[in-house]
Amino acid sequence: MNLRCSALTFRVVAVSASLLAMLSPAARAERLPKTVIPSHYALTLAPDIKAATFTGLETIDVDLKEPSKTITLNSAEIAFQSVTVEAAGKELTAAVTSDAEKEESTFTFPETLPAGPATLTVHYTGILNDKLRGFYLSKTDKRSYAVTQFESTDARRAYPSFDEPAFKATFDITLVIDKNDTAISNAPIASDTPGPDANKHTIKFDRTVKMSTYLVAFLVGDFQCTSGESDGVAIRVCGTPDKVALTNYGLGVAEWVLHYYDNYFGIHFPLKKLDLIAIPDFEAGAMENFGAITYRETDLLIDEKTATIEAKKNVSEVIAHEMAHQWFGDLVTMQWWDNIWLNEGFATWMETKPVAVMHPEWHIDQDDAAQLDGVLNLDAQPTTRAIRAKADTREEIEQMFDGISYGKAGAVLSMVEHYLGEETFRRGVHNYLAAHEYSNATAEDFWGAQTTTSGKPIDKIMGSLVAQTGVPILTFGKAADGRIDVSQHRFFLSPGIKPDPAQKWTLPVCFKADESGASCDILTPESTHLTLPKNAFVFANAGGAGYYRSTYTPEQYAAIVSNVETALKPTERISLIGDEWAQVRANTATVGDYLNLVGAVKNDESATVLDAALGSVGTIHARIASTDAERDALAAWIRSSFAPAYAKLPAPSLNDTPSAIEMRTTLFGTLAAAKDPAVLQQAREIAGKFLADPSSVDPNLGQTALGIAAIHGDSALFDKLQQVYETTTNPGLQEGALRLMASFEDSALARRALDYALTPKVRSQDAAIQFAIVMQTDKDRPMAWQYIKDHWDAIHALLSPELGNILVGSTSSFCSAAERDDVQQWFATHKVASADQGVKHAIERINGCIELRSLQENNLKQWLALQHSGQ
């Protein structure tokens, strides 16, 4: 499953939240006994889309490991009509008792069933809900669709099942649907026959391979598809009829990625076909159902003529993420949800590899380095968790789908690959998959395969990073005679938190080296020094792939900075920038030190490096500067530092490389944020042209300009954006227009955006994001927070657990004790399902802002004064 809500085509708004799947905060995902093992399901479902209900007929072949009068499985919102069992030549009828809290049903039989094979037959009914999970309704202006989302524990809402990942089985799926509709499922269609009445037809699918219940999918509606093929596998990209023209880009990506993965894994794609389906209402970014991957429309459907490079990257990487799961997650599945990182961490790491080969001009490795820096900051918060953690209840399971399982786990895999080398690591991956095909595995299985394949202590390295919370920081000291002193401890962004001195890791530390480029040594908990290769200066994160922070002596740091533009790769510069900002947060460096480093890279040729540097400058503006005078002085420095580079850029051309395009948009957006009058005027002019005819302007520049214009815009522009949102059939343009409606600084228009978010025109999957965007605006934040409280009942009714966490997380933009106390008191009495951790993190971030400002604001004033005096 992909966490991303989607790339916003007008402006990317990053919102992260744990993907939670609870419909009731009290629900618990109790473990089933291992005394009944399913092997095969035969499902016949007949959805009534207009009535929002369905009927089901199910048989389950099971093996009883011991005699029993009862069989317990999972169900939720299922009404049982009858349950029988055939065992040992007898047919018995069961009495059914259900426990809604445990989401379990127990079938009790009049006689004891013997150990051995048995077949359950279940007649039942269910609802097509509006909660974006289970078997649910997705709606457009013209009609409704019946679709599914089962991860992690919602297959039980569509069919009674042994709904745990280790209970793998095969599936025969049949759908009885309206005669003008079609259906898509995991396997190809085996037959399509009229009936059972004149207005219906019955579609039967081939038997699936052995797989977990949460990977089953079925979708009903008037979907239309574009077809292709790769390595003998039929591939389709599907959507609603009005959007089928936007499927070609995704199809090309999928064909490329499948061939790449066939070669990389050394295991051919295990199914005959692969469908990728865009769904109008979809809570997550995408879901890796085996052979029938489902997506949010903005993460699959794209118009190449109006899409930005960032939007193309997003669609490509989301497709690659979900397709990686077909091997790592579907073919081989974690034994239990505490190891979900085996699915999500691997897919996060893998998603950029085929895209980087497909588009070397995108310099994906630099994006990876920037993502790693964000993960290190996430893991250095006061409260974090280990990659593998307790996950017994539904709530605990769903909270595993977070930045740790995805980002940290992916980063650890990247570091291990960098240490071992790509081919050695690839062989370890192949050996792991080959050993566990169509089965389940654990973390120990994975790193055991890597240890055996490489002969290196990968079990110790990964074991220490998977089991422990937090980020290591390596402190380097004296270097002499080919050795360098080093110590390690846990790093916190907050200087008020003292680490446990006993906590240490086993890590590969890779130094830059003159001849080989990198030389790695293993740091153990007992190490006090490491082997140092020959190099003009000490830099302890060659390639920028290490999962640790680094700090150096003043002389070592000065040598690095003097070589930053000549001897460090872009990924290494991003790592250095991230380390220095982390030191500012921890109060071991000043904000002036950081801004001096930003000045040293102001002419960098990589837009990603500049983005990394300027992102924290934005934080300084929002979280350290507290007066208009400070912010104006900082903006003046930004203009004087970056306007010359922007002025040197040639005029936009159709022949511009992606790097040139991204550099122009980065500098353009930076100077606009710094209120450069000439750039603001340019933005208004370009935005007008782009709105009138999106094809008349480079979409990257046009959409950046429109985002700038919206911030400073008037009601006429708001009206135009609303018109785009309500009339376009392009999902990216539609969602982008909606997001920009929440970006206006004009308080009346910001309030109008909030009002609009509560109308039926805005899908529930989008509403909370609108509130979160307004909460990021300094001027409108107090108004937005009061609005949320004043309209709490209406807003709360729209919140799924994911959206609730997005809304809660938006309050972390506050930066005072009074605001912190208000947020804490509000959510103490106005609970949001599965958001207790979200509230805790929001409060921690507010406290972090208070602390950062108190420690660094005077440093900022002094540094700005020096710049003003010309020193």
Q: Which residues are catalytic?
A: 322
Residue 92's DSSP bridge partners are 85
Distance (Å, whole) CA 353 – CA 347: 10
Written as six digits, the tokens of 725 are 């949102």
Residue with tokens 């426990």: 99
- Count H helices and E strands in the chain, helices first: 28, 28
Closest CA to 762 of 780, 744, 742: 742
- Size (the chain), residues: 871
Taking a C-beta distance cutoff of 8 angstroms, is the pair 397, 391 a contact? yes
- CA dist 244 and 266 (Å) reads 33
DSSP state of 177: E
Q: Are 317 and 299 in contact (CB under 8 A)?
A: no
Q: How far apart are CA 790 and CA 88, in angstroms?
A: 64
What's the Rg (C-alpha) of the chain?
Answer: 28
Residues 6+ positions from 831 with CB-CB distance below 8 Å: 25
Farthest-apart Cα atoms in the chain, separation? 95
Tell me which residue of 398, 103, 148, 175 sits closest to 289, measured CA to CA: 148
Inter-residue contact 188 to 263 (CB < 8 Å): no
Can you spell out the DSSP letters for 596-656? HHHHHTTT-S-HHHHHHHHHHHHHIIIII--SHHHHHHHHHHHHHHHHHHHHHSPPP-TT-
Q: Tell me the two tokens of residue 487.
A: 């110590």
For 315, the 3-state DSSP assignment is helix
149 neighbors 283 (Cβ within 8 angstroms): yes
Using CA atoms, how far apart are residues 481 and 403, in angstroms rounded to an integer?
A: 41
User: Within 10 Å of residue 82's Cβ, how many Cβ atoms?
Assistant: 11
Q: Is beta strand 104-113 parallel, antiparallel or unpaired with respect to 95-99?
A: antiparallel
- List the structure tokens of 69: 């009068």
Q: Which two tokens stand for residue 444?
A: 């120990």
The residue among 256, 396, 394 whose CA lies nearest residue 315 is: 256
* Tokens 């905060």, residue located: 25
**Which residues, 6 or more positions from 28, have their beta carbon under 8 angstroms from its beta carbon?**
101, 102, 103, 392, 393, 394, 395
> How buried is 657 (Cβ within 10 angstroms: 0-12 exposed, 13-18 middle, 19+ buried)?
exposed
Spell out the residues 6+ positions from residue 117 whose beta carbon is closer than 8 angstroms to its own.
61, 62, 63, 64, 87
Q: How far is it, in rounded angstroms, from Cα 688 to Cα 667? A: 20
Collect all residues with Cβ–Cβ distance below 8 Å to 699 and sequence separation of at least 6: 305, 306, 307, 308, 690
Whether the CB-CB separation of 106 and 70 falls below 8 Å is answered with yes
Among candidate residues 493, 485, 479, 478, the one with its CA nearest the CA of residue 589 = 493
Query: Which residue, among 335, 337, 350, has the nearest Cα to 413 in the 3D structure?
Result: 350
Helices (H), 195-340: 248-265, 309-325
Residue 865, judged by CB atoms within 10 A of its CB (0-12, 13-18, 19+), counts as exposed
Query: Phi and psi (nearest 5°) for 738?
Result: -60, -45
Q: What is residue 310's three-state secondary structure?
A: helix
